Amino acid sequence: MPELRRDPLSHRWVIIATERAMRPSDFKVENPKPHGGVCPFCPGNEHLTPPEIRAVRQNGAGPNKPGWSIRVIPNKFPALRIEGELGRQGYGMYDKMNGIGAHEVIIETPDHSLEMPHYPLAAMEQVIRSYKDRLDDLRKDSRFKYTLIFKNHGINAGASLEHPHSQLIAVPVTPKRVAEELFYCRDYYAYKERCLLCDIISQETLLGERVVLQDENMIAFVPYASRFPFEVHVLPKRHTHDFCKISDREISSLAYVLRTVLKKIRQALGDPAYNYILQTSPVPLPRPGHPEMWGTIEFDYHWHIEIIPRLTRVAGFEWGTGFYINPVTPENSAKYLRDESVDD
Amino acid sequence: MPELRRDPLSHRWVIIATERAMRPSDFKVENPKPHGGVCPFCPGNEHLTPPEIRAVRQNGAGPNKPGWSIRVIPNKFPALRIEGELGRQGYGMYDKMNGIGAHEVIIETPDHSLEMPHYPLAAMEQVIRSYKDRLDDLRKDSRFKYTLIFKNHGINAGASLEHPHSQLIAVPVTPKRVAEELFYCRDYYAYKERCLLCDIISQETLLGERVVLQDENMIAFVPYASRFPFEVHVLPKRHTHDFCKISDREISSLAYVLRTVLKKIRQALGDPAYNYILQTSPVPLPRPGHPEMWGTIEFDYHWHIEIIPRLTRVAGFEWGTGFYINPVTPENSAKYLRDESVDD
């Protein structure tokens, strides 16, 4: 059973992955781990993965057989375990918890070498719908406080398999970074009676200098204080705290805008490694006896996707302070991506 | 003038480095930047760096000439500028500040290819004394709220020059991570009337399972909830919030313990890239009319050095949540380093 441990200095939870544990000698710099030649995510190799959770098939074949266009499976080497009770415990002066959670892989396409910037729009939409379906399903499990959907592309972004996929991790505590964003959004709402991210959209639209792309429903811009060169955030223009409330038209827009931004990044920067993460409000549980708490969350968050190309290295200064040094002005990053013309 | 910008969602400050700004095309993955053949940090090349701030010379030569055993210079491409006024400003709904600060390089040795694990103890002590001297000097400048000393070793840790060096960056705001640690330390002190880190030292000594090395004055252990495999913290056993109060005996101990830990890491893991950072209390300014505030800081922080070998990659999950997945248990990391025998 993996363990969740809390660092007393930062109150940051860490997953100590005892089951996928590596031996110290695995880290010797001289011995990079070889990758096997067979891709477990390719059609025909379904038996190499745990049984699927969800898939879309047009050909009427049964589960765990080829014929799918998208396939969701449990991670074979999960960071957290789905079975078990939460169990908070002390360990001397420290705090720990059982490593309960979900860790799934969304295999986005049967085609091993097709990358997201080249997906047909219908395939992009299918990926987004899968995110929504899995989030909808996992929030029924009351042990989980937050589910993060993310994609790692390229070795420098932490991807260990080449076949295009996204991942999902559901955790039993609200993660520090999410709690922080919620706090500052709520704080802003208390002061202004407006959503912080709605105001940011309005500010960015007004200035235009950091906007990369927009359509009727979605906007993509480089944040004013972005940590990394070419960091891009994609937001719905309509205020929605909860990604699961995305409409069909918004799904089409998001498919188009996200794919186009990734295409621009790929073309402008030569296929860099990148991560993207979907930030949405935590499960909005009604608090019994506190209807006003239930109400506020609708106004004090606004879901968004953060795309982080991995071009610079995080070094001592960033680890020590949480400060970042961005060597490209966000305005230059935005202009460069805006001006990069790509096929539709 | 570089700019400090604050991200409204996280209240994280970011340095937008306009002067060392790179053009977007510098990031093309296909074109890694070549490094020149001449090392600006080697003796004889003093004219290639800005004039030195401090150096130790036994041979009586003048400044900016060879003969030094350690040399501190301003960074030639500083992330922040030393001249100017602070100036907080709004920019639409956003917040910015002039990029005032100090950015220095401590050239630890004249020998280009001697690495820290192999320094004579006297040279290690000289490095530590330089840290203390520079911190002591920079805290006289009331524009600076915090000075971070750090070392990046290896390309994967963000080092751009090979010649052994540390760096120092003084910033005009208390960094988020530092403020957070101070907050949790103060909180613990309010609850227990004891220093959090003193309690951690006592807990780790009691259990022993995460201790890597200790002598009479210093202890090195793998933190209970460490984010990374083989992360090691080095702390003085005596409660001291302020690194500048380090005694001569503690300097000798720190030189020995820090060098030995780095030697173990190098030998056990095959010279991995690493960062280390020195965390000390911010400038302990007396608050006029609040002598009790001046008092507390002495008890609610405890300086320490964090060593982070760069063996795993930070991916989407970590960026999105602030959660980390550590694939090696801290107890295994500690045992592996403890058992690695190295020369004194």
CA–CA gap between residue A124 and residue A109 (Å, rounded): 10
At residue A87, the pLDDT reads 84
Whether pLDDT at A60 is above 90: no
CA–CA gap between residue B230 and residue B337 (Å, rounded): 8
C-alpha distances (whole Å) from B186 to each of A5, A9, B189 are 21, 10, 5
C-alpha distances (whole Å) from B272 to each of B163, B211, B308 are 16, 21, 10
Do both A198 and A144 map to the same domain?
Answer: no
Do both B262 and B306 map to the same domain?
Answer: yes
- Does any domain span residue A68? yes
Whether pLDDT at A129 is above 80: yes
- Does any domain span residue A135? yes
Do both B160 and B66 map to the same domain?
Answer: yes
At residue A205, the pLDDT reads 97
At residue A344, the pLDDT reads 80
Do both B236 and B128 map to the same domain?
Answer: no
> Which residue from A180, A207, A229 is facing B92, i.e. has the nearest CB?
A207
How many Cβ pairs closer than 8 A exist between chain A and B? 300
Per-residue pLDDT averaged across B295-313, rounded?
84
Terminal Cα distance for chain A, rounded: 47
Do both A311 and A208 map to the same domain?
Answer: yes
At residue B164, the pLDDT reads 97
Whether pLDDT at B21 is above 70: no
> What confidence category does residue A300 fall into, taking pLDDT thresholds of 50, 70 and 90?
confident
Lowest mean pLDDT: which of A214-228, B233-247, B299-313?
Answer: B299-313
Q: Which residues of B touch A188 (CB under 8 A)?
A: 8
Per-residue pLDDT averaged across A97-104, rounded?
93
| 3 state SS for chain B | CCEEEECCCCCCEEEECCCCCCCHHHHCCCCCCCCCCCCCCCCCCHHHCCCCCEEEECCCCCCCCCCEEEEEEECCCCCCECCCCCCEEEECCEEEEECECEEEEEECCCCCCCCHHHCCHHHHHHHHHHHHHHHHHHCCCCCCCEEEEEEEECHHHCCCCCCCEEEEEEECCCCHHHHHHHHHHHHHHHHHCCCHHHHHHHHHHHHCCCEEEECCCEEEECCCCCCCCCCEEEEECCCCCCHHHCCHHHHHHHHHHHHHHHHHHHHHHCCCCEEEEEECCCCCCCCCCCHHHHHHHHHCCCCEEEEEECCCCCCHHHHHHCCEEECCCHHHHHHHHHHCCCCC
- Does any domain span residue B344? no
Smallest Cα distance from B180 to chain A, Å:
6
Bridge partners for A307 per DSSP: A232, A276
Tens of pLDDT, residues B152-164: 999 889 888 999 9
Do both B311 and B194 map to the same domain?
Answer: yes
> Which residue from B6, B27, B151 is facing A229, i.e. has the nearest CB?
B27
Per-residue pLDDT averaged across B133-146, rounded?
91
> Is there a contact between A310 and A200 (Cβ–Cβ < 8 Å)?
no
Query: Buried (b) or exposed (e) across B119-148, using 16+ Cβ within 10 A?
Result: beeebbbbbbbbbbebbeebbeeebbbbbb
How many domains, in total, are found in chain A? 2
CA–CA gap between residue A209 and residue A198 (Å, rounded): 17
Query: Helix, strand, or coil here: A176?
Result: helix
Per-residue pLDDT averaged across B86-115, rounded?
93
Whether pLDDT at B30 is above 50: no
| B147 vs A: CB within 8 A | no
- Does any domain span residue B255? yes
pTM of the predicted structure, to 2 decimals: 0.91
> What confidence category does residue A14 fall into, taking pLDDT thresholds of 50, 70 and 90?
confident
Of B171, B225, B203, which Cα lies nearest the Cα of B333? B225
Query: Buried (b) or exposed (e) across B70-109, using 16+ Cβ within 10 A?
Result: bbbbbbeebbbeeeeeeeeeeeebbbbbbbbbbbbbbbbb
Instruction: Among A135, A153, A171, give the residue marking a domain's end.
Output: A171
At residue B37, the pLDDT reads 80
- Does any domain span residue A60? yes
Whether pLDDT at A100 is above 70: yes
Per-residue pLDDT averaged across A74-101, rounded?
90
C-alpha distances (whole Å) from B260 to each of A253, B5, B156, B214, B254 are 56, 40, 22, 10, 10
Residue B165 annotated in active site: yes
At residue B33, the pLDDT reads 45
At residue A294, the pLDDT reads 47
- Does any domain span residue A183? yes
- Does any domain span residue B156? yes
Instruction: Among A171, A187, A215, give the residue marking a domain's end.
Output: A171
What CATH number is attached to the domain comprising B76?
Answer: 3.30.428.10
A18 or A171, greater pLDDT: A171
Do both B139 and B267 map to the same domain?
Answer: no
| B91 vs A: CB within 8 A | yes
Whether pLDDT at A176 is above 50: yes
> What confidence category does residue A245 fall into, taking pLDDT thresholds of 50, 70 and 90?
very high
Whether pLDDT at B32 is above 80: no
Residues 202-241, chain A, touching B (beta carbon < 8 A): 203, 206-207, 223-227, 229-230
Per-residue pLDDT averaged across A105-127, rounded?
97
At residue B288, the pLDDT reads 53
CA–CA gap between residue A235 and residue B280 (Å, rounded): 39
Whether pLDDT at A285 is above 60: no
Do both A202 and A166 map to the same domain?
Answer: no
Beta carbons within 10 angstroms of residue B25's beta carbon: 11
CB-CB under 8 Å, B333 with A158: no
Do both A184 and A46 map to the same domain?
Answer: no
Do both A20 and A54 map to the same domain?
Answer: yes
> Which residue from A11, A152, A178 is facing B315, i.e. has the nearest CB?
A152
At residue B119, the pLDDT reads 97
Per-residue pLDDT averaged across B116-123, rounded?
97
Residue-range definition of the domain harbouring residue A162: 3-171
Query: Helix, strand, or coil here: A307?
Result: strand
Do both B244 and B138 map to the same domain?
Answer: no
Lowest mean pLDDT: which of A252-261, A304-313, B13-22?
Answer: B13-22
B281 or B36, greater pLDDT: B281
Options A165, A233, A241, A304, the catalytic residue: A165
Q: Which residues of B touch A226 (CB under 8 A)?
A: 7, 14
Percent pLDDT > 70 in chain B is 90
Beta carbons within 10 angstroms of residue A190's beta carbon: 10
At residue B43, the pLDDT reads 96
Do both A157 and A184 map to the same domain?
Answer: no
Whether pLDDT at A85 is above 90: no
Smallest Cα distance from A57 to chain B, Å:
29
> What confidence category does residue B36 fall into, taking pLDDT thresholds of 50, 70 and 90?
low
Mean pLDDT score across all residues of chain A: 89
Helices B330-339, B248-269: crossing angle, 10 deg rounding: 100
Lowest mean pLDDT: which of A49-53, A146-150, B1-5?
Answer: B1-5
> What confidence category does residue B90 fall into, taking pLDDT thresholds of 50, 70 and 90?
very high
Instruction: Among A120, A142, A171, give the residue marking a domain's end.
Output: A171
- Does any domain span residue A344? no
At residue A284, the pLDDT reads 61
CB-CB under 8 Å, B223 with A7: yes
Mean pLDDT score across all residues of chain B: 89
| A313 vs B: CB within 8 A | yes
Bridge partners for B147 per DSSP: B170
Per-residue pLDDT averaged across B39-45, rounded?
96
Left (φ > 0), alpha (ψ -120 to 50) or beta: where does B124 sit? alpha
Residues 6+ apart with CB under 8 A from A291: none
Complex ipTM more than 0.90, yes or no: no
> What confidence category does residue B15 fall into, taking pLDDT thresholds of 50, 70 and 90?
confident
Whether pLDDT at B131 is above 80: yes
Query: Helix, strand, or coil here: A252?
Result: helix
Lowest mean pLDDT: which of B18-27, B60-69, B130-139?
Answer: B18-27
CA–CA gap between residue B32 and residue A269 (Å, rounded): 12
CB-CB under 8 Å, B323 with A176: yes
Tens of pLDDT, residues A22-35: 666 666 654 444 45
B160 token code pair = 């751009």
Return the residue in A1, A7, A16, A262 with the most chain B beta carbons within 10 A, the one to mutate for interface testing. Answer: A16
C-alpha distances (whole Å) from B93 to each of A55, A202, A234, A290, B89 are 44, 10, 19, 32, 10
